[in-house]
Amino acid sequence: MANFKGYLIRFPKSGKLFPHELIAKDNYNGTPLQRTEIKAYRDSNNLLHRTTSPNYKSKIEFTTVDKLSLADMQSIRSVLNSSWDNSQQRKLRVEYWDDELLTYRTMTAYMPDITYQVKAITKNDVKYNAVTFTFIEY
């Protein structure tokens, strides 16, 4: 069996895991080792010629469970805020389960802007709709 250790995402700087119980499992998408074409063209015989970069990039995208509480959001933000290499750029290192190689890999990534949608508020709590997080390798 592969060396799976029971988590999908860990941040090496802080050593913290993204709270896996808050990830909607049917919405976790890993796209490891994406290829980038440096040059691609079709010749006069309509045959495809490709020059592919040897530097592959990964992308992780997932949605949280619905109805996140304020405590859930504080837990997520605590993990992220302690893991930035550069908070202005939202740059961080992400250790993730690579489903193509069936092992853990670490990438330097950035996290695009996030939209937070409030579902309900009470005197002491905020409930959020599911939130999408994306980590894109540099």
Kindly write down the DSSP assignment for every residue of 35-61, as one continuous string.
--EEEEEE-TT--EEEEE-S--EEEEE
Backbone CA torsion sign across 91, 8, 61, 69: negative
pTM to 2 decimal places:
0.88
Per-10-residue mean pLDDT, the chain, length 138: 87 96 92 89 92 92 95 96 96 96 96 95 95 97
* Contact (CB, 8 A) for 119 and 127: yes
Spatial CA neighbour of 114 closest among 131, 130, 137, 128: 131
Spatial CA neighbour of 60 closest among 82, 16, 83, 93: 93
Q: Note the pLDDT of residue 1.
A: 53
Q: Note the pLDDT of residue 36.
A: 85
The amino acid at residue 103 is T
Q: What is the C-alpha to C-alpha distance for residues 9 and 1, in angstroms, rounded to an integer?
A: 19
Q: Note the pLDDT of residue 46.
A: 93
Token digits for 76?
Answer: 């997520």
